[in-house]
Every structure is written in structure tokens, then in C-alpha cells.
């Protein structure tokens, strides 16, 4: 592990407590000062009161998306460096709950799209 300058402060926004604590501990071992938040509201409160160099946020939060949080942070702190993280499994689960066959990974060939559409049609029992 490489030691960083002690002045570098990361705000880690992660809903999953195990993931948050594991990542925070690792970052601290690397020499970062780490503040933790469980959602966008808590993150914004920290950013209004504390010096932070980096925002690391999951895309899927309880109260807002990481994209929404990032947009709000850009208004509040345009200089702040932002890194978004995601769980492919969680993203796939959300997508599969909202659509017929989960996400189609990009980039994709148009034929893959046609094959997926056919598979969905067969699974739904529609031949038209």
C-alpha cells in the first residue's frame, strides 16, 4: 500500500455498511483521512461543514442516486474530485426488476439486441 499525503480527505458515501467499513479501513491504511456517509443527505451535510478533497460515492444510494448527489456537489463544491462506484450485480438486479431480461451490456452488436428481443418475446409467449 502506498502512503498518501495525510491532508487528503475522502468522503465515502456507501449504503452497505460492510462495504463502507471495509473500504474506509483500507483507505485509512493507505494514509487517507476518511469520513463516511450512508446517503446523499448526510454527505451534503458533511460537505457543507468539512474540508474534503475527494467524494467517492456509490451510484445507488437510499435517498438519491450517486449521479444526483454528484450534480448537487458540483453546485456546492465545483472543485471537488468525484469518483462514482457501482455494483454490477445490484445494477443488474434493479434492471431485471424493471425490465424483462436485465440489462444488455454495452457496447453491444445490434444482432445481440435482436436476439434479446426474440428471447423476451418467446419468454412472454407473444409471437407478434
- The average pLDDT across 76-81 equals 93
Cis peptide before 14 (omega within 30 of 0): no
Confidence of residue 115 (pLDDT cuts 50, 70, 90): confident
Query: What's the mean pLDDT in 23-50?
Result: 95
User: How far is the C-alpha of 79 from the C-alpha of 54, rounded, in Å?
Assistant: 10
Q: Where are the domains of the chain?
A: 1-86, 91-128
Mean of the pLDDT values across residues 57-65? Answer: 89
Assess if CATH 3.30.2130.10 describes domain 1-86: no
How sure is the predictor about 7, in pLDDT bands with cuts at 50, 70 and 90?
A: low
pLDDT-derived band at 78, boundaries 50, 70, 90 = very high
Residue closest to 45 by CA, chosen among 16, 13, 22? 13
In this prediction, what percent of the chain has a pLDDT beyond 70? 78
Amino acid at each position: 500500500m502506498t502512503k498518501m499525503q495525510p491532508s487528503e480527505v475522502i468522503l465515502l458515501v456507501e449504503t452497505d455498511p460492510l462495504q463502507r467499513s471495509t473500504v474506509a479501513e483500507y483507505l485509512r491504511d493507505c494514509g487517507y483521512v476518511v469520513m463516511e456517509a450512508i446517503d446523499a443527505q448526510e454527505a451534503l451535510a458533511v460537505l457543507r461543514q468539512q474540508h474534503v478533497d475527494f467524494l467517492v460515492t456509490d451510484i445507488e444510494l437510499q435517498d438519491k442516486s450517486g449521479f444526483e448527489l454528484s450534480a448537487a456537489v458540483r453546485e456546492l463544491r465545483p472543485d471537488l474530485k468525484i469518483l462514482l462506484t457501482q455494483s454490477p450485480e445490484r445494477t443488474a438486479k434493479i434492471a431485471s426488476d424493471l425490465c424483462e431480461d436485465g440489462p444488455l451490456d454495452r457496447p453491444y452488436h445490434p444482432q445481440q439486441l435482436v436476439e434479446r428481443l426474440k428471447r423476451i418475446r418467446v419468454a412472454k409467449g407473444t409471437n407478434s
